[in-house]
Amino acid sequence: MLWPVAKFATGIPIFSIFALWPQSFYVSFHSGILWSARLRAKSMDELRSIAEEVSRLARPGIRPAQLCEAVRKRHPWASEHDIARATFYAVILAAEEPTEWLLELHGLAVELRNCNVQEAANDR
């Protein structure tokens, strides 16, 4: 049975270009897509978990370093970037009832984000 062959305008068959790539490329590319999808799903659950912890620990007058230290006792793998993202996520979840606590939490999230930006600039 003859398969129809798609060709570029130059007349080169398309499948001949793909034949140049090793088979391992397809496997690694496909598994990379699957791995990143699992990572995103896992990280959203973990982000929610950190956000709940931040909501529980945040109180007026707490400094960002104290919050990071307290969260890392429960989530030792969490970076400051993860904690900052989770703090903003906690603000979004708590936005239904605007209170003084919510304003404190938002200020804390902004401070955490700015600390991360400054640290990243210092690392360069």
Alpha helices in the chain (DSSP H): 14-18, 23-57, 64-74, 80-94, 100-123
Residue 41 has pLDDT above 50, yes or no: no
Burial of 87 (0-12, 13-18, 19+ CB in 10 A): buried
pLDDT of residue 123: 46
Task: At 62, list the tokens.
Answer: 């707490």
Please write the tens of the pLDDT for every residue from 69-108.
999 999 888 888 888 889 888 888 877 777 777 778 888 8
Distance (Å, whole) CA 49 – CA 56: 11
Confidence label for 53 from pLDDT (cuts 50, 70 and 90): very high
